[in-house]
Structure 1
Amino acid sequence: MTRPTPTLVYAREPIPASGPSVFLAGPTPRAGGDIASWRPAAIEELAARWTGEQPLTVLTPESRGGVRAKHYDDQVGWETAARAAADAILFWIPRDLETLPGFTTNVEFGLDVTTGRVVLGCPPNCPNPERNRYLIYVARRHGVPVRETLDDTVAAALTLVMRKAPRP
């Protein structure tokens, strides 16, 4: 049996109204920098692990082809709508205060932690793991799965997607 290939939806593209979906939340490397995004590895792992009958939609706040939003509100509005539409919100926070500080991610996590659709991944070997302690505390307090590897975080997110009733 051939697995359906995930559908990738990039920032500011139309968000599908139906089908299983995961939003990839976490710090985004700055345009023109030399830091690689963690999202391609997450997308690859999601594709390898997805066993659902319908294609999985992966919503990423990164821009297709690196084309940035002309207006900040357009980006933030899309991300807010995409997180609200997702069946699971995968937070991966390889905290590095120099290159991937994730300050906006902290706020998004606080907004979404009580939705029942969040998984938190915080690698213990990132440059500033101590800066994730509070998020881990809050996650555990709200029953959010906490994982230490990207693979395990992906698996936990897909568990949430599979438990959700199919959207029409």
Structure 2
Amino acid sequence: MSAVRYVMAREPIPAGPIVFLAGPTPDKSAPVPSWRPEATRLLGEQWTGQTPLTVLSPESRHGERADRYETQVDWETTARAAATAILFWIPRDLRTLPGMTTNVEFGLDARSGRAVLGCPPDCPNPERNRYLIYVAHRHGIPVRETLTDTVAAALALVAATTPAARTEQETTR
């Protein structure tokens, strides 16, 4: 397993291969944990590149909120633009993880060639992901049903576009 750097909201974004973790963020009052620690663990297990992989999270370290809403949005926009792959994981639950902002971000990134979409069929509101899945298929975006498979698809994108990652990934197959 190669090194994984975890960078959270509004922290400096290093160079190198990057996966941005896009998707709904639990509200502090929501009784659900974040899915991002598990995604980061899976990325760390699956990453075999020669250089460290940076994982970008729009969640704040220690729960500290941005000074202004625009500060957060600007960082997320810059982080998605810097990412080698944008991993969208949408365990849609209209009560606790509605992901309305995620819908817009997915639309903005659908033509980037860097998006991967994960939509678990057993989430509380899978029917609310139907349109995103349709758009993904129209744009050739990989669609997966488990977080493990979504991570693998994101790392395949990184390997396809990052020479150091590609070399290592190809030798481990």
- Name the TM-score class by shorter chain: over 0.9
- What corresponds to 2:82 in structure 1? 85
The CA deviation at 1:5 is 2.1
Aligned length: 164
CA contact (8 A) 1:19 1:166 kept: no
Partners in 1 of 2:79 and 2:112 — Cα distance?
14
- What corresponds to 1:150 in structure 2? 147
The CA deviation at 1:166 is 4.3
Quick one: which amino acid aligns to residue 72 of structure 1? Y
Quick one: which amino acid aligns to residue 11 of structure 1? A
The CA deviation at 1:165 is 3.1
- What corresponds to 1:52 in structure 2? 49
**Structure 1 residues without counterparts, runs of 5 or longer:** none
- SS of equivalent to 2:106: helix
1:99 to 85, 96, 101: 96
Structure that is richer in helix per residue: 2
The CA deviation at 1:31 is 2.0
Partners in 1 of 2:48 and 2:94 — Cα distance?
36
Superposition RMSD on alpha carbons, in Å? 1.1
Alignment of 1:73 with 2:41, yes or no, is: no
Quick one: which amino acid aligns to residue 13 of structure 1? E
- What corresponds to 1:160 in structure 2? 157
- SS of equivalent to 1:140: helix
TM-score by length of 2: 0.92
> What's the CA shift string for 1:42-68, capped at 9, x where partnerless?
000000000000010000000011111
* Identical aligned residues as a percent: 69
TM-score by length of 1: 0.95
**Structure 2 residues without counterparts, runs of 5 or longer:** 165-173
Alignment of 1:6 with 2:4, yes or no, is: yes
